[in-house]
Amino acid sequence: MKLTERLIKLEEQHQALQEELTAVKMMAYALEEENERLRRLLCSYTDEDKAQIENNVKKIQGSGYENLVKLYEEGFHICHLHFGQARQGDCIFCMGFLSKL
């Protein structure tokens, strides 16, 4: 292959890569715009929405605590050391865990 032909081929490859780079840049720009739009949407909760979310969190946390107390009363560990294992007598770690909640 002649040098001129190789240069022409190399130039064509360069142009193709340049076009591909431009296309990828446009995709990145579109994704960044979509990301920004979604961030704005995510942060656009009303005070009423926030209050409802906080209410739901409190309910979930309350029922979680109640479930742990129930497990402990049924004779199971709720501490991270022996979680779910049957216990005999009180466990200082479980009791400490319950007092922190």
Give residue-wise pLDDT tens across range 23-73: 999 999 999 999 999 988 877 777 787 788 788 877 777 778 888 889 899
- Predicted local confidence at residue 54, as pLDDT: 82
Cα–Cα distance, 71 to 87 (Å, whole number): 11
- Predicted local confidence at residue 99, as pLDDT: 82
- Enter the pTM of the model: 0.43
β-partners of residue 86 are 76
- 16-47 burial code (b ≥16 CB/10 A, e <16): eeeeeeeeeeeeeeeeeeeeeeeeeeeeeeee
- Predicted local confidence at residue 101, as pLDDT: 58
Q: Is the model more confident about 6 or about 62?
A: 6
Cα–Cα distance, 72 to 97 (Å, whole number): 11
- Predicted local confidence at residue 24, as pLDDT: 96
30: its two tokens = 């579109």
pLDDT class of 76 with cuts at 50, 70, 90: very high
- Predicted local confidence at residue 75, as pLDDT: 93
